[in-house]
Amino acid sequence: MEIRIGVLNTTRELTFESEDKATEVEETIAAALAGTTGYVRLTDSKGAVYIVPTATIAYVELGSEETRRVGFFA
């Protein structure tokens, strides 16, 4: 699943692929925004860790969990 995080005061966004389910990522982000830690911690499909301060999150976009099909369709 593709995750895009928009950061305030920047023209670029943080984009990466994750193996997690959309509901799990949504719960993690919601808990971080409601909590007192001040950051959200996510891991991509290659094992890299992203730590984003919750005060700078403009938006979060979660892509679909469908896998891409390869080949010809009838």
Average pLDDT over residues 37-63: 93
Q: Spell out the domains of the chain, with CATH numbers in brackets.
A: 2-62 (2.30.30)
Is pLDDT above 70 for 50? yes
DSSP character for 54?
G
Could you tell me how many residues make up the chain?
74
Q: Does the predicted TM-score (pTM) go above 0.75? A: yes
Average pLDDT over residues 37-52: 94
Provide CB contacts within 8 A for 44, sequence distance 6+: 16, 17, 18, 50
31-40 pLDDT, tens digit per residue, is 999 988 899 9
Q: What is the mean pLDDT of the chain?
A: 89
DSSP character for 37?
S
